[in-house]
Structure 1
Amino acid sequence: MTLSTTDGKGRLNAWPYWMTLTFVPLVVLAVLFGGWTILLIPIYGWVLMPLLDAVVGKDLRNPDPETPDAELFWFRLLTCIWFPVQFALVFGTLYYLTRVGQYSTLETLGIMFGIGVTTGTVGIVYAHELFHKSNRVERGLGDLLMALVLYGHFRTEHLLVHHPYVGTPRDTVTARYNEGFHRAYARILLTGFGSAWRAEKAMLVRRKRSPWHLSNPIWKYLGLQSVFLAIAFGIGGWVGVGLFVFQAFVAIWQLELTNYVEHYGLTRKHLGDGKYEPVRPHHSWDSAHRVSGLLLINLQRHADHHVHPMRRFPLLQVYDESEVPMLPTGYPPMTALAMIPPLWRRVFNPRVRAWRKKFYPEIEDWSAYKNGTLPKPKGAG
């Protein structure tokens, strides 16, 4: 077996992406045995994957983007089965920790940290794939996965704000040049829900409805989250709720680290009068590293995702380095680097400045872009 995503006849091969299911036995080991086995989950995602990336290298092949859904059954099945798997992992772990296991507080938090790594690395990435689709079942599964990490509004924020307004002052998650991750994270946590509410409100107003109308999906997000919090309480009382919230926080932290890396310092050109250029491939940091691409179902092919947001993950394309800014590694090492802002700026600020000279040599004063003082796009909610 190889890690190739095509078989000998050039057909797409789904099985390498199923490697994400290896998180399941790692979680089970940590829950049943505690101790050093708790470290296996973060080591697997943050150490082993980057090492394999270094050994295996990049995957620069591009599949046929017109491949019909009928040929993608096993790819779609992988994302669709993850909700019941994650549900069992989260609440099964809560049950064991609060009713069966006799672990120390540190071990308990360590196990739930591992759960958060799993729900963030796999669950949120799969939710992202699912809620980008028009199929109601897939979107519903995406909502359920986001509710399991108490971040349901991310779907609205991502689809109605991030994609239309990435690289502009309206987008909450586009990290500004020189903005450290911790500052960006606090800003996103404080403003993200309000941003999603405003976006849904604007849509409802256009349909002549109140933002308090039941068709506002925010109520669905909050309802699902309340159900899962109630289940956590039913299993382990307030301790169960606290542990559930803790894993959600870890997952959200990972999500926003990824968002930070994907667009740091990259801005769309302001054309005047609140108008911005269209989204182009060079407005995202890209990566073609093979193993982390399998783990994250090609999320790292982010430039193509923004150009073709409905395209399914196995069909996402890699752009030439002359067309897009490239990350030096896959996502895991980059998110670790982002946790240390001085080192991050040392590595990435020169890259952003080079990107500016390459794609926008006509812009001499970047201060308004850097400070986020340009006007918001016309019509932005």
Structure 2
Amino acid sequence: MTLFHYLKYFLFHAIGLLALTMLMAGGVWVTVGLIAVLAIYMVGDAVCGDDTATPKLQHTGILTVQLWMALPLLSAIVLAFVWSVSPGDALGLGALVQQFTGHDAIAMRDAAHWGHHVSGVVLTGLMIGMIGTIPAHELTHRTWDPVSMLVGRWLLAFSFDTVFAIEHVYGHHRYVSTTEDPATAPRGRNVYFHVLASTIKGNISAWKIEQKRLKRAGHGVLTPFNAVIRGHLMSVLLVGAAAWLGGAQAAAWFVACALWGKALLEIVNYMEHYGMVRDPATPVQPRHSWNTNKRISSWTMFNLTRHSHHHAQGEVPYQDLKPFPDAPMMIGGYLTTIAVAMVPPLWHKLMTPKVLAWDRDHASAAERELARQANRDSHIPAMVTAG
């Protein structure tokens, strides 16, 4: 049984391999792949229930390697997508597929409807968010491990978001659920506005944090020591590689995938912390983040779902995070909640009762006062009435 708890996290890699296979198959298979991934998460979370097990796993090296494996996997997925929108047979990948499988991938790709390219962008951006950002989130918390930090930053480069390794660890975790945190969406905010606001404010926050670090270290801001500048150059290098493989058109398609992957991160930030308030004098506790224990999301996202424990103790590795079933719960699993968040009227209809219940059941006396002000500012009628 213990072996199973190591193997279950390989479901993450199986989803990535499915996406990779469908992108290389081309044409309608790309759309089939997108539908399959969405179904695995949404239907799987709906029927498979919650995972509340927290076994003690001794072989932590295996668990770390599982995270590192995300980088070659994501690189292969993005390469397959770039090939799928390139005019030629970049690196001879199509010929290689035909040689080993007999499948004429080039013909399928070239005959594809434009809609399948859109499916490819959605699927690849989803993989950048999942195969890239999720393990990077875990790895960049390991500030004592240079290999994990390097792998994590390269994974983030695919979504043009290496600043996440700075702002998330040193900013977001300090200010979460307060007005100082760019990633915490105030009550009533639209998710699409939040994507823009959190991105801009997060980059500004990361720049300020890095400025202070460089000053303490005795380095100038506009130097190679600046991790913000180095990180953005990593992303530029990836765009250049896409252009080298498939020309300007392929590079533009890749940029679309990267921006969608970045947007997904901010949508996730939105749903993990929407409407939360915290007295800045109070330490971060499990009640200050939305949680979910859905089994498929947990197994394929390295327990990112157990967000309440993660914010209470950010240094705890993913395999040791506890489910906290009494923490405030999201609408469903991650992709289901993402889908709901992208429909603002539905989101506010479902989340307003949850937020008001949080005020009643989880908030401290000081936080109830903050909540009353947040409700008045929300412009959501039910919240304004609640006061």
Shorter-chain TM-score range: 0.7 to 0.9
Is 1:51 aligned to residue 43 of structure 2? yes
**Deviation string, structure 1 residues 336-375 (Cα, Å, up to 9, x no partner):** 1101111111111121111112233533463544659xxx
**Aligned residue number for residue 193 of structure 2:** 183
CA deviation vs aligned residue, 1:213-252 (integer Å, no higher than 9, x gap): 4322112202211211111111122112101101101211
Aligned with 2:330 (options 322, 327, 332): 327
Cα distance, 1:19 vs structure 2: 1.2
CA distance 1:33–1:268, shift in 2 (3 Å)? same
List per-residue Cα deviations over 1:94-132 (Å, max 9, x = no partner). Answer: 134312341343322322321111111221101111111
- Aligned amino acid, residue 309 of structure 2: D
How far apart are 1:54 and its partner, in Å? 2.4
After superposition, the CA RMSD in angstroms is 2.1
1:238 maps to 248
| Residue equivalent to 1:126 | 135
Instruction: Decide which moves more: 179-188 or 92-101.
Output: 92-101
Correspondence list, 1:223-234, <5 A: 223-234=233-244
Structure 1 length-normalised TM: 0.86
Tell me the secondary structure at the aligned position of residue 178 of structure 2: coil
Say whether 1:296 aligns with 2:301.
yes
The 8 Å contact of residues 26 and 40 in structure 1, kept in 2 or not, is answered as no
Structure 2 residue runs of 5 or longer lacking an equivalent are 90-108, 379-387
Are the aligned partners of 2:184 and 2:273 in contact in 1 as well (CA < 8 Å)?
yes
The TM-score with structure 2 as length reference comes to 0.85
Residue of structure 2 in register with 1:353 after alignment? 356
Amino acid at match of 2:82: L
Aligned to 1:32: 25
Corresponding residue to 1:212 among 203, 222, 239: 222
Q: CA deviation at 1:208?
A: 4.3
Change (3 A) 1:361 1:115: closer
SS class of match (1:318) = coil
1:340 matched to 2:349? The reply is no
Give the C-alpha shift of residue 304 in structure 1. Answer: 0.9
Shift, 1:62, TM fit: 2.4
CA distance in 1, matches of 2:73, 2:52: 31
2:215 and 2:26 mapped to 1: Cα distance?
A: 54
Deviates more, 1:100-109 or 1:143-152: 100-109
Distance 2:364 2:229 in 1: 46
Among 240, 245, 253, which residue is 2:263 paired with? 253
Checking the alignment, whether the CA contact within 8 Å between 2:214 and 2:221 is kept in structure 1 is yes
8 Å Cα contact 2:23/2:81 also seen in 1: no
Structure 1, residues 124-160: CA drift from partner, whole Å, max 9, x if none?
1011111111211011000001112221112112112
8 Å CA contact 1:292–1:331 kept in 2: the answer is yes
Tell me the distance in 2 between the aligned counterparts of 1:296 and 1:40: 22
More helix by share: 2
Q: Deviations over 1:267-286 (max 9, x none)?
A: 1114xxxxx31111100111
Given that residues 34 and 111 in structure 1 are in contact (C-alpha distance below 8 angstroms), is that contact kept between their aligned partners in structure 2?
A: no
Preserved CA contact (<8 Å) 2:27 2:113:
no
CA contact (8 A) 1:109 1:243 kept: no
Mark the CA change 1:59 to 1:81 in structure 2 (over 3 Å): closer, same or farther: same
Amino acid at match of 1:57: G
- Give the total of aligned pairs: 352
Secondary structure of 1:279's partner? coil
Equivalent in the alignment of 1:87: 75
Q: Structure 2: how far apart are the matches of 1:113 and 1:350?
A: 31
Among residues 144, 163, 182, which one is paired with 1:172 in the alignment?
Answer: 182
Which one is further off, 13-22 or 137-146?
13-22
**Which residue type is aligned with residue 123 of structure 1?**
G
Q: What secondary structure sits across from 2:9 in the alignment?
A: helix
In the alignment, the residues of structure 2 paired with residue 365 and residue 264 of structure 1 have an alpha-carbon distance, to the nearest angstrom, of 14
Q: Secondary structure at the match of 2:330?
A: coil
C-alpha distance in 1, partners of 2:364/2:73? 49
Q: Which amino acid aligns with 1:202?
A: K
Letter of the structure 2 residue corresponding to residue 18 of structure 1: F
Q: 8 Å contact 2:31–2:116 — kept in the other structure?
A: no
Whether the 8 Å contact between 2:22 and 2:33 is mirrored in structure 1 is: no
Percent identity at matched positions?
25
Secondary structure of the residue that 2:225 maps to in structure 1? coil
Q: Flag structure 1 segments of 5+ consecutive residues without an equivalent.
A: 1-6, 271-275, 373-381
Q: Aligned in 2, Cα 1:211/1:277: closer, same or farther, shift over 3 Å?
A: farther
